[in-house]
Amino acid sequence: MEIKQALLTKIQNKTLRTGVVGLGYVGLPLAVEKAKAGFATVGFDVQAAKVEMVNAGHNYIGDVVDSDLADLVKAGRLRATTDFREVASTDFIAICVPTPLDEHQEPDISYVRDSAIEVAKYLKPGTMVVLESTTYPGTTEELLKPILEQGSGLVCGRDFYLGFSPERVDPGNLFYKTKNTPKVVGAIGDDATEVISSMYRAVLEGDIHTVSSPAVAEMEKILENTYRNINIGLVNELARLCHEMGISIWEVIDAAKTKPYGFQPFYPGPGLGGHCIPLDPYYLTWKAREYGFHTTLIENSMVINDGQPEYCVERAMHILNRHKKAINGAKVLVLGVAYKQDIDDYRESPAIRVIKELKKVGAEVSYYDPWVPEFKNMYGETGKSIPALTPEAVAASDLVMVTCAHTNVDYAMVQANAKAIFDTKNVMKNIHPRDNIEVL
């Protein structure tokens, strides 16, 4: 009770010191919001380059306002470090590190584990620790809790509080940001739930919804993205069927969404990208096997979505064939390698897989993306955008594939100069004439 009251008092009078482990797409915006709310904040990251940029007030995350970061650093309310010994000076630690899949498509929780080990070394009594990284249900209690207790010699619930609050970051969303997106909190014990949720209420404007345990919050996050994975899988499969039947899936969706209830539109594409939707179902199916449970529906949707890049390349081959051109040796220009429109994030981008599959069958591939001038992903694949999208560059290509619906691309110019276009995002729906365009 003394720890609880002390923390609530610190939250109320803004003397509580906060820390954020991992200064990426989730961690840096959260650190900025904590500092803007009046809490002294320190960010931890193992990448010295990120730490140096933050301390210089240089922003590298699209959802953070450049001037906000610079002003907070200048005022001394936000700084970054690679030295985890400073954990000892904090009262609240949020862990926001990546949770990718390994080469066997199984959860890689090494970043979470390593972060917990470092935090445990310097954890002091009266600290709140919250995991925000998306992971399988049970991670907080089965993995984090033992590491933190063993490494610190402290007891969860008595000496420190532990919880899970899933990140809800949607890069490029013009309305919902970290500050105004509702937050879910699940913690170990009522006191931890009360104090951790109080901290988020002091920082964020969105509703704070508490649940009975970290496992519920972990499963909730998985449900959010599995729901989208399944529905995207459904519409991708229907898109394949509609193509065989000579029906436009885009027109079908436009008609269906006129219904004011019971239907939410999802759209087909070259696959799934980003850090959540393509990965989260794998965490759930992996955990389900521990209980001898097979998530058949979920796994089927994953198979469909994972196969979209190959399907798009197959369609590209047929398009070229109709123009009496073999895919082997064909010049293919890919428009967009970001995983969604108008952002510079290419994590798990399906467009990069499309490029890889095109090269496998002998195509000479180039790409243009005004948001991603070059890329290097975790699989060692690299690429560099052509410097400008010109009529000459378009005309020199045997096929143009639209794989990302960026709004700052002159699609009318592309249509006017391209020999053939495969539009996987239906961005050219209002361009006429459309004789050289085939839509997914």
CA gap 151, 341 in Å, rounded: 43
CA gap 259, 39 in Å, rounded: 46
| Residue 209 phi, psi (nearest 5) | -105, 120
Q: How far apart are the first and last CA of the chain?
A: 60
CA gap 284, 289 in Å, rounded: 9
Tokens (6 digits) for 126: 């009266």
Strands (E), 87-200: 92-95, 127-131, 160-164, 183-187
Assess contact for 126 and 154: CB atoms under 8 A.
no
Catalytic annotation present for 276: yes
CA gap 368, 393 in Å, rounded: 10
Tokens (6 digits) for 402: 């639209």
Specify the DSSP element, H or E, that contains 412. Answer: helix 411-417
- Please report the sign of the dihedral spanned by the C-alpha atoms of residue 84, residue 86, residue 91, residue 93: negative
Tokens (6 digits) for 235: 């519409």
For strand 382-384 and strand 374-376, is the pairing parallel, antiparallel, or unpaired?
A: antiparallel
Give me the catalytic one of 96, 156, 242, 276: 276
Catalytic residue numbers read: 276
